[in-house]
């Protein structure tokens, strides 16, 4: 017990030493007591025996046999003396003591052996303990290493999983939970658990008691910062610079944090700015880092879909209904911030019972990136849609009437169209109903094409949002099952470009011949045309050999349609003239025009449209017109060598096709037909007035294309303004044999071409560019 008490609070490593010193003390004490006993015995003997008996046992007490024998000898020696003692009792006592002494000496010997053995054992144990202690340390270290390795492996697994997803072309789905808004902080969260890609929602009995779990690529809890969210999608955004098309769209109930994620809160700081700002900032940082090997050009466009009307958000005069979707070249993050602030200001905001900052429109920021490999001349084109969808809640919950009800109905309609497209894609239907809403048309490239697509699903943690939360997560769950096919790089290698030039050259020659025939047949005034052509040619006197791979790349092929004479000097231009539908789709580049100072504008030719997208081309004109609404005018000066432009425009009523350099149809990506001149457009209007707008725009097929490529299909939905309706379809056809506007993505929406089993258009070798910015 004593030993236990002493050892109980001692550290294990102290125990051996303590026991050893304890034993040492015991031995010492024992010897001390033995010595004192010996003294007692000696004194007693002295008292009892005579002087010779008084002789002490001076020999040191040692336990060996010699001592015993000596003692025995002594006892024998003293035998005669003892005999002389008369007192038998003393004699007996003395003998007894002697025997005790002998016994104790033997005991001491045994004890000493025991101590030696114990000490040896202790030392052995001590060594063993140290060894084990070291082993334990090593094992713990190994475990810690394994634990950190486990996290690394988890991270690696996640990356590999995402790569597999990329290869399969699955839509990536991230889920984000909004924190409680301050006044509701006492509420209980419906989110029970979040771990990696899993989120568990607790459901009280009225919603079917228990909990529901969903798995996504990533789930962000309430405390996750904007920077953390962005870092997870950064690789995706960076792939835009590598020539991929990317679409990130935010989905969720009103007030669930979509705008917060995509843009940030009302009062923006560097820390809280959203994906849009960070993405563009990142693009510039990367572009700068790669400047020795690549030259990048970036331009942005911002539109919104409000009540099924598409509106340009990058206008500065507040006239949101202007038909042109401006394309703004940007060269720094601050350019971007200025533009996005403008876009945000212009975004339609309406109040509902759910959220006083409720945006009742879908907004889309599109970033066009073109990179030129400075060594090989290869052109990479990437396009990124960053879409902030309107709230997905049901109409009745918004408690709205009148305009708000109308807005909500439009939103619901477009979101359910989105749902239908998703369902169609996940079932790999041959027909995918992209046309059912502007939203699905907008996202067609990203949902059915081979872009990298990320859906950011947002949920609110409040109990009263539970039904919406569950339906949002179910929708996201379905989206996650959609496979789009592996994303593909939009790349023009030098070889491809050379071949394209050759094809263009041959086709241009053919088209020129046809054009000449037509011209003579319809007696069209050559003066206007030749003047125009010469102008264009003079403005862009490049030859295919030295301009190939220049910044505008193949866009130029599309940009000069109608300019027959100019084509004679430029195979690139010639290519445009006799494109078939497939070729148009194949060769339509996504890159927006870059405005040259030598290019001019004809704003006076703008008109309002009826709300559909059509494509336009800018024929280079001498008119020097101010670009109202382009805050970054300096861009033009920086791009002195930029050749002519090709672009598309959104027209509110498509009553006319416009010429406008500052616009580019983001929906259409690279699919566009070309218009030559405003006066010729009128001819086209007349020629196509019998076609319905939907037919023209969305149900494009080969037969309609033939009209368009002959210059008479442009206005299937367009109406000719009375003042200019003097031309005939024939004339248009003659003058601009290939100048019809591109139905752009409408061409690629599955009509007129056989579809893949998953609903996508079969993409011929060069056909990827038909959707968005693909080649
Ligand atoms: N992660 C977050 N951290 C802090 N505040 C957030 C977060 N997400 C959203 N909020 C705040 O919640 C409110 C609603 O968010 P937000 O406006 O982004 O929602 P929304 O889904 O875009 O709504 P709507 O559909 O109406 O556009 C805002 O005040 C916003 O600042």
**Cβ proximity of 699 and 751 under 8 Å:** yes
Residues with CB under 6 A from ligand 1: 178-179, 181, 252, 254-260, 265, 355, 357-359, 390-391, 458
- The CB density around residue 685, as the number of other CB atoms within 10 Å, is 27
Written as six digits, the tokens of 498 are 């050379």
Any residues with CB less than 8 A from the CB of 338 and at least 6 apart, and which?
Answer: 631, 632
Mean pLDDT of 31-58: 64
Banded pLDDT at 205 (limits 50, 70, 90):
low
- Mutation pick for ligand 1 pocket among 175, 184, 255 (CB with most ligand atoms within 8 Å): 255
* Average pLDDT score, the chain: 63
Q: By the 8 A CB rule, do 677 and 727 touch?
A: no
Residue nearest to atom 13 of ligand 1 (CA): 255
**Dihedral of the CA atoms 392, 395, 401, 407 (nearest 10)?**
40
CA-proximal residue: ligand 1, atom 8 (nearest): 257
Torsion of CA 444, 445, 449, 451, to 10 degrees: -130
The continuous run of DSSP H or E covering 459 comes out as strand 452-459
- The whole-angstrom distance between residue 471's C-alpha and the CA centroid of its chain comes to 23
What is the percentage of the chain residues whose pLDDT exceeds 70? 52
> Mutate which of 178, 254, 275 to test ligand 1's pocket (most atoms within 8 Å of Cβ)?
178
Residue 223 is classified by DSSP as: T
What residue's CA is closest to ligand 1, atom 2? 178
Ligand 1 midpoint to CA 557 (Å): 44
E strands, 566-677, in order? 610-617, 646-652
* Smallest CA separation from ligand 1 atom 16, residue: 257
Structure tokens belonging to residue 227: 């920077």
Please indicate if the annotation marks 254 as binding a ligand: yes
CA angle 615-616-620, nearest 5°? 160
536 is in an annotated binding site: no
Q: Residue 87 above 90 pLDDT?
A: no
Ligand 1 centre to CA of 260 (Å) is 5
pLDDT of residue 482: 77
Among 92, 72, 773, 12, which residue's Cα sits nearest to residue 445? Answer: 773
Pocket residue to mutate for ligand 1, from 251, 257, 395, most atoms within 8 A of Cβ: 257
Q: Which two tokens stand for residue 21?
A: 């010193």
**Model confidence at 757: pLDDT above 50:** no
Atom of ligand 1 nearest to the CA of 357: 26
Known binder of ligand: residue 252? yes
> Which stretch of 262-266, 356-360, 373-377, 613-617 has the lowest confidence by average pLDDT?
613-617
Tell me what percent of the residues of the chain surpass a pLDDT of 90. Answer: 11
Statement: residue 760 has pLDDT above 90 = no
Structure tokens at 389: 């969808």
pTM of the model: 0.50
Lowest mean pLDDT among 5-19, 117-131, 169-183, 588-602: 588-602
Q: What is the ipTM of this complex?
A: 0.98
Check residue 93 and give its pLDDT: 86
Q: How confident is the model at residue 101 (pLDDT cuts 50, 70, 90)?
A: very high
* Confidence category of residue 717, pLDDT binned at 50, 70, 90: very low
**The domain at 169-263+272-448+452-480 falls in which architecture?**
3-Layer(aba) Sandwich (3.40)
Domain boundaries, the chain: 2-138, 169-263+272-448+452-480, 491-770
Q: How many A from CA of 195 to the centre of ligand 1?
A: 23
**Higher-scoring residue by pLDDT: 672, 482:** 482
């Amino acid at each position: 017990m004593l030993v236990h008490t002493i050892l109980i609070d001692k550290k294990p490593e102290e125990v051996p030493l303590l026991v050893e010193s304890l034993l040492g003390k015991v031995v010492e004490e024992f010897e001390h007591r033995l010595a004192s006993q010996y003294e007692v015995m000696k004194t007693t003997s002295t008292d009892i025996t005579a002087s010779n008996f008084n002789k002490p046992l001076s020999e040191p007490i040692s336990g060996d046999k010699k001592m015993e024998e000596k003692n025995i000898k002594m006892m024998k020696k003293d035998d005669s003396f003892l005999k002389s003692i008369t007192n038998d009792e003393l004699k007996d006592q003395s003998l007894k003591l002697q025997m005790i002494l002998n016994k104790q000496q033997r005991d001491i010997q045994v004890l000493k052996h025991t101590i030696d053995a114990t000490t040896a054992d202790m030392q052995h144990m001590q060594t063993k303990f140290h060894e084990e202690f070291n082993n334990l340390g090593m094992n713990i270290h190994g475990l810690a290493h394994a634990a950190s390795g486990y996290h690394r492996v988890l991270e690696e697994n996640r990356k590999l999983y995402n790569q597999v997803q990329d290869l399969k072309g699955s839509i990536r789905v991230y889920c984000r939970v909004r924190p409680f808004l301050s006044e509701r902080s006492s509420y209980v969260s419906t989110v029970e658990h979040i771990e990696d890609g899993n989120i568990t929602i607790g459901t009280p009995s009225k919603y079917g008691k228990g909990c529901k779990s969903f798995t996504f690529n990533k789930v962000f809890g309430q405390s996750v910062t904007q920077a953390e969210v962005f870092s997870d999608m950064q690789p995706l955004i960076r792939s835009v610079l590598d020539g991929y098309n990317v679409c990130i769209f935010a989905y969720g109930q009103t007030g669930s944090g979509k705008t917060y994620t995509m843009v940030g809160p009302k009062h923006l700081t560097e820390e809280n700015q959203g994906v849009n700002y960070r993405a563009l900032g990142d693009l510039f940082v990367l572009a700068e880092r790669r400047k020795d090997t690549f030259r990048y050009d970036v331009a942005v466009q911002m539109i919104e879909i409000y009540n099924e009307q598409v509106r340009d958000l990058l206008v500065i005069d507040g006239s949101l209904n202007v038909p042109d979707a401006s394309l703004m070249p940007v060269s720094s993050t601050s350019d971007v911030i200025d533009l996005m602030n403008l876009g945000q200001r212009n975004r339609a905001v309406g109040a509902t019972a759910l959220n006083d900052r409720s945006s009742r429109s879908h907004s889309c920021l599109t970033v066009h990136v073109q990179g030129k490999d400075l060594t090989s001349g290869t052109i990479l084109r990437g396009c990124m849609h960053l879409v902030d969808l309107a709230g997905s809640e049901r109409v009745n919950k918004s408690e709205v009437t009148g305009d708000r009800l109308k807005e909500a109905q439009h939103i619901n309609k477009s979101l359910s169209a989105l749902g239908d497209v998703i369902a169609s894609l996940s079932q790999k239907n041959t027909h995918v109903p992209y046309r059912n809403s502007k939203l699905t048309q907008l996202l067609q490239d990203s949902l059915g094409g081979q872009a990298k697509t990320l859906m950011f699903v947002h949920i609110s943690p409040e109990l009263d949002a539970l039904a919406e939360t569950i339906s949002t997560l179910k929708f996201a769950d379905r989206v996650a099952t959609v496979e789009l096919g592996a994303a593909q790089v939009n790349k023009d290698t030098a070889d491809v470009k050379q071949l394209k030039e050759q094809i263009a050259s041959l086709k241009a020659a053919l088209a020129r011949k046809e054009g000449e025939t037509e011209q003579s047949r319809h007696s069209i005034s050559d003066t206007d045309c030749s003047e125009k052509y010469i102008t264009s040619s003079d403005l862009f006197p490049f030859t295919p050999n030295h301009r190939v791979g220049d910044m505008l790349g193949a866009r130029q092929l599309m940009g000069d349609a109608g300019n027959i004479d100019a084509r004679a000097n430029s195979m690139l231009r010639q290519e445009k003239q006799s494109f078939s539908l497939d070729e148009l789709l194949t060769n339509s580049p996504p890159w927006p025009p870059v405005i040259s100072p030598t290019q001019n504008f004809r704003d006076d030719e703008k008109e309002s449209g009826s709300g559909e997208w059509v494509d336009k081309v800018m024929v280079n004109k001498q008119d020097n017109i101010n670009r109202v609404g382009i805050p970054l005018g300096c861009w033009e000066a920086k791009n002195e060598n930029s050749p002519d432009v090709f672009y598309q425009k959104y027209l509110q009523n498509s009553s006319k096709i416009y010429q406008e350099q500052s616009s580019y149809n983001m929906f259409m990506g690279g699919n566009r037909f070309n218009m030559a001149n405003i006066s010729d457009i009128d001819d086209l209007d007349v020629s196509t007035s019998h076609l319905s707008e939907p037919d023209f725009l969305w149900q494009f097929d080969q037969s309609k294309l033939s009209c368009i490529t002959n210059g008479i299909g442009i206005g299937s939905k367009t109406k000719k303004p009375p003042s200019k309706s003097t031309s005939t379809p024939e004339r248009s056809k003659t003058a601009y044999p290939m100048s019809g506007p591109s139905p752009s993505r409408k061409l690629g929406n599955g009509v007129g071409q056989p579809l893949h089993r998953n609903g996508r258009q079969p993409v011929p070798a060069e056909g990827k560019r038909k959707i968005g910015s693909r080649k």
